[in-house]
């Protein structure tokens, strides 16, 4: 690491969030959702650490993501939740990737595939993204699968409104329950809840064995009341240059910030929009030596500017989020959700893993 800009990933916080969620879902088990490089936290490190803590089933979205995990783990089960094509059955079979049967075409195609495959069936109970809807079709397909060499490991659905738990959420819970009662047999893994539903509702659901935990594993939540979670990622940089401006002088592209007094001090940080520190962050503040200072000017590809005072020195550490400014503050500033902020931290930012246990 040459450039002093990095993301700290606190693996102890990750485990503490896992344990916190486990209390809510007990005795059911958690499937960590580590797609999108574990929401920007680093899927391989997250997986390896959680394997040591007893987890052996992980969920991702893409086949590429699943194969990258398989390269580092021989033993864990890997569920791929995104879509696939039938010409990818072979690679799933070879690398023991449990894929998702999410529509009627794939459901029919697995039946004609000669070698044994392992998969989960996804049911669409109201999200209307991926999943089979027709109950009669599901039941007769499951009977056919039972006679085939294949292994229907799991069945699942996904909630559209888990964090508001409105009418649609309750309809989805009931629809899945009604279907489960009609199935000719139960696969060994049944999972419906994401983070919000795991933490707030799973204890009311009787028919599941697992839950899928994504955002809350990383210490984040759309719910205001999840105070037991600890954010896992902190974004840090260092002041690499300080400019002294006179009144009227401007900073950066477009000269959009103009000093309004003599002796203004502008700190330069080596982080910009190519790192995921997008231009709309320009209205925010950052933390240096426990104080908050405003960003000024336009954020460049590799750098940004902060108006500081004379106490700030080259080499001082800057916390962009994960200290006095939370990741949720950044998400709010950008009119988005924490998911998008963490996933948007680019590969240029090295992840530094911290653990005591």
The answer to whether 35 is a known catalytic residue is yes
Catalytic residue among 53, 185, 253, 347: 253
DSSP 159-177: -SSTTTT-HHHHHHHHHHH
Instruction: Say what the alpha-carbon torsion angle 204, 210, 216, 218 is, to the nearest 10 degrees.
Output: 170
Q: What is the DSSP letter of 243?
A: E
Which listed residue (195, 237, 319, 338) binds ligand PLP by CB under 6 A?
195
Instruction: Say what the alpha-carbon torsion angle 121, 125, 131, 135 is, to the nearest 10 degrees.
Output: 70
- 66 interacts with ligand PLP by CB under 6 A: no
| Beta strands across the sheet bearing 241-245 | 241-245, 264-269, 304-308, 291-296, 285-288, 317-321, 233-238, 5-10, 351-354
* Distance in angstroms (rounded) separating the CA atoms of residues 51 and 84: 26
Residue nearer to ligand PLP on the CB measure, 84 or 215: 215
Catalytic residue among 35, 122, 234, 282: 35
Which listed residue (28, 212, 285, 351) binds ligand PLP by CB under 6 A?
212
Residue nearer to ligand PLP on the CB measure, 159 or 305: 159
Phi-psi region of 27 (alpha: psi -120 to 50; beta: other; left: phi over 0): alpha
Least distance to ligand PLP, CB of residue 259, Å: 43
Residue nearer to ligand PLP on the CB measure, 34 or 259: 34
Least distance to ligand PLP, CB of residue 239, Å: 34
Instruction: Say what the alpha-carbon torsion angle 270, 275, 276, 278 is, to the nearest 10 degrees.
Output: 40
Residue nearer to ligand PLP on the CB measure, 40 or 214: 214
Which listed residue (194, 208, 237, 281) binds ligand PLP by CB under 6 A?
194
Farthest CA pair distance, the chain = 82
Residue nearer to ligand PLP on the CB measure, 200 or 307: 200
Residue nearer to ligand PLP on the CB measure, 46 or 239: 46
Q: What is the DSSP letter of 33?
A: B
Which range binds ligand PLP by CB under 6 A, 168-176, 209-217, 275-283, 311-319?
Answer: 209-217
Give the x/- contact pattern for ligand PLP in 133-172, rule: CB under 6 A. -------------------------x--------------
Take residue 302 and report the two structure tokens written for it.
Answer: 């590799």
Q: Looking at residues 213 to 242 of the shown chain, list those that interact with ligand PLP (rule: CB under 6 A).
A: 213-216
Instruction: Say what the alpha-carbon torsion angle 330, 334, 340, 343 is, to the nearest 10 degrees.
Output: -60
* Distance in angstroms (rounded) separating the CA atoms of residues 268 and 147: 66
240 and 8 Cβ atoms separated by less than 8 Å? no
Q: What is the DSSP letter of 42?
A: -
Which range binds ligand PLP by CB under 6 A, 20-28, 210-218, 247-255, 262-270?
Answer: 210-218
The answer to whether 257 is a known catalytic residue is no
Q: How many helices (H) and strands (E) does the chain have?
A: 11, 19
Give the x/- contact pattern for ligand PLP in 32-61, rule: CB under 6 A. -x----------------------------
123 and 143 Cβ atoms separated by less than 8 Å? no
Least distance to ligand PLP, CB of residue 196, Å: 6
User: Residue count at the site for ligand PLP (CB under 6 A)?
Assistant: 10
Least distance to ligand PLP, CB of residue 339, Å: 6
Which range binds ligand PLP by CB under 6 A, 45-53, 207-215, 240-248, 266-274?
Answer: 207-215
In the block, residue with structure tokens 């039938």: 86
Residue nearer to ligand PLP on the CB measure, 231 or 270: 231
Kindly list the catalytic residues.
35, 253
Where does this chain bind ligand PLP (CB under 6 A)? 33, 81, 158, 194-195, 212-216
């Amino acid at each position: 690491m040459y450039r002093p800009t990095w993301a700290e990933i606190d693996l102890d916080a990750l485990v503490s969030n896992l344990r916190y969620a486990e209390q809510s879902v007990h005795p059911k088990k958690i499937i960590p959702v580590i797609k999108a490089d574990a929401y920007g936290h680093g899927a391989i490190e997250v997986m390896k650490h959680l394997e040591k803590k007893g987890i052996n089933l992980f969920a991702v979205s893409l086949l590429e993501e699943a194969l990258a995990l398989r390269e580092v783990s021989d033993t864990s089960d890997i569920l791929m939740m995104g879509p696939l094509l039938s010409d990818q059955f072979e690679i799933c079979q070879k690398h023991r990737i449990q894929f998702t049967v999410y529509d009627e075409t794939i459901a029919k195609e697995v039946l004609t595939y000669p070698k044994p495959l392992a998969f989960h069936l996804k049911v669409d109970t109201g999200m209307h993204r991926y999943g089979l809807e027709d109950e009669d079709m599901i039941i007769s397909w499951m009977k056919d699968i039972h006679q085939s060499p294949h292994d229907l490991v799991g069945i699942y659905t996904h909630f559209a409104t888990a964090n508001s738990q409105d009418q649609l959420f309750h309809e989805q819970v009931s629809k899945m329950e009604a279907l489960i009662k009609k199935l000719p047999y139960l696969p060994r893994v049944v999972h419906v809840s994401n983070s919000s539903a795991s933490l707030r509702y799973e204890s009311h659901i009787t028919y599941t064995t697992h839950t899928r935990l994504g955002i809350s594993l990383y210490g984040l939540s759309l719910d205001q009341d999840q105070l037991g979670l600890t954010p896992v990622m902190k974004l840090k940089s260092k002041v690499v240059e300080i400019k002294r401006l006179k009144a009227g002088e401007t900073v950066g592209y477009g000269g959009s910030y103009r000093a309004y007094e003599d002796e203004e001090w502008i700190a330069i940080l080596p982080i910009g929009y190519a790192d995921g520190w997008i231009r709309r962050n320009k209205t925010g503040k950052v933390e240096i030596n426990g104080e908050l200072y405003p960003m000024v000017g336009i954020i460049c590809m590799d750098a940004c500017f902060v108006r500081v005072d004379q106490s700030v020195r080259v080499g001082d550490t800057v916390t962009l989020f994960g200290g006095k400014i939370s990741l949720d503050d950044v998400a709010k500033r950008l009119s988005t959700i924490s998911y998008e902020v963490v996933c948007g931290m680019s590969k240029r930012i090295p992840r530094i893993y911290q653990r005591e246990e």
